[in-house]
Chain A
């Protein structure tokens, strides 16, 4: 599956009750690609990310990760829901980073990082801890291994959260506004880690309002509004001369 896209969405629809949040999303993310997603609040960015690792079920359309349907298998022209165990296994191959970090507060930084390798992958404790330490070093937190989340700054917490996701050696990383809850002076340290990841060839979908990051680290920039993709292209092009009025309007507000 070397050549196929890492993520492929075909006319993805999703509603919450009567509210249609995604109204036909089509997109492809190639391996090693960094796709940034921008758009006004409520446009369905988070919902789309959550559909990719099946935290939400889509109502219509097809969503593939690494060539396989998300949440279903297809035999003939029939879809069969995957059993929970399979859903979990597939989720474990996709890392997710949240706006509010969502670290486990009753565990130290290192315990947070090795939790899933130990209990989902079934790795040995010493091997997992060894790798966990390396990861925390990589995100610049060698000194904070034994700190509890509430003893860390927001930026440090988010870096632990990134290390926690990386510990599962994901083939795809989803970031949902990873810097939006941070004080301005802490944004940089998190973006640096993400830039490093991008440079190492991680496939990433990043919902963000950091246009600087999108411009430098992003391969593609997608603008979503009202549950559809209004515009997609090279970040520089989209940012410099958006071809849609809605994009222009949005950018004029955030830039």
Chain B
């Protein structure tokens, strides 16, 4: 039998022992390897940044140029449009795929198989060149020229969006499956229809699983829109390419495009963080702090003195 220490334990009656102050273990190799990698990285950046024929002036000249801004605007339009198609169609496909109706499920499977199995570039080209095999589209007496209906921008949006839908369908499906079956059952027991269960109960919970990869998809899409280049859609990359070909400052313009792509993906990353935080409600007891909150807490805790036995400022009975 183990003896329980008799009498009041020292920590109960006595004073709180001194906080531990120990000499930390030194990680010498960590520092050395970090220094080496840093050196190498700086060296590489320095070499490119100071390349003899690189003109930073051209970079800054074109950074805020009107044509570049037009390109950015179109890049954003393409991204948003393609992602909207991708997400909406992706949800529909995912629900179809999980439907008890075998025809629905097979159709969704076929769609995903087809659009995921062929390159996006080919799909954009396909939409762009559809008029070659199908000059007119229409129902009954109503006919439109395909070229009028599917402009270059539309071809890019269709190509990117329909392809994205196949990927989004799998992401959404994984999210739906991740929601415990008891949720569906409880909702059904309350009298909700299949559609209501999906919309009100399952999808909101699936979001927690769906959002992170969707954020990645959006960021990836932002850059993939540069493929619209093949349909001569004047988005950011196409603009940079055209200007660079015109003034023979091609690399500088690549830098300009890269700068804006980086800036936009950074903004999206921040947006993704807050979206994830929103859909985490109910999943974690406390929401994770925003970077801003974390920063403030860091400052605050560093200024805070160690828990002292007495308040640093003596409390005076000012207000009786």
Contact = CB atoms under 8 A, between A and B. Distances in A.
A98 B181 CA distance: 12
Contacts of A104: 183, 186-187, 201, 205
Contacts of A164: 190
A214 interface: no
A49 to B, nearest CB: 10
Interface string A117-131: 001100000000000
Interface string B271-295: 0000000010111110000000000
Given A84-B194, A106-B205, A148 B189 contact: no
Given A115-B200, A119-B196, A105 B190 contact: no
B190 A115 contact: yes
B182 A102 contact: yes
Interface in B247-286: 279, 281-285
B185 A119 contact: no
B283 A55 contact: no
A47 interface: no
A90 B191 CA distance: 7
Contact of A120 (B186, B192, B281): B192
Contacts of B232: none
Given A102-B185, A104-B183, A105-B205, A119 B192 contact: yes
B200 A119 contact: yes
B193 interface: yes
A92 B191 contact: yes
B188 interface: yes
B212 interface: no
Interface in B15-59: none
B195 to A, nearest CB: 10
Interface size class of A (residues with CB under 8 A): 20 to 34
A5 to B, nearest CB: 21
A169 to B, nearest CB: 12
Contact of B191 (A100, A103, A168): A168
A148 B192 contact: no
User: How would you classify the secondary structure of chain B's contact residues: helix, strand, loop or mixed?
Assistant: helix
A53 interface: yes
B193 A55 contact: no
B204 interface: yes
Contact of B189 (A55, A84, A105): A55
B204 A88 contact: no
B190 A150 contact: no
A55 B181 CA distance: 12
Contact of A88 (B182, B191, B201, B283): B191
A95 B191 CA distance: 9
Nearest to B279: A106
A52 to B, nearest CB: 10
A151 interface: yes
Interface string A79-112: 0000011001111111110101011111100000
Contacts of B185: 55, 98, 102
A16 B273 CA distance: 45
A119 B279 CA distance: 21
A-B interface, 10 closest residue pairs, ranked by CB to CB distance from nearest = A92-B191, A102-B186, A116-B190, A96-B189, A102-B182, A148-B282, A106-B282, A105-B282, A120-B191, A91-B191
27 contacts: A53-B189, A55-B189, A84-B194, A88-B188, A88-B193, A90-B191, A91-B188, A92-B190, A94-B189, A95-B189, A96-B186, A98-B182, A102-B185, A103-B186, A104-B186, A104-B187, A105-B205, A105-B283, A106-B205, A106-B279, A116-B190, A119-B200, A150-B282, A150-B284, A150-B285, A164-B190, A165-B189
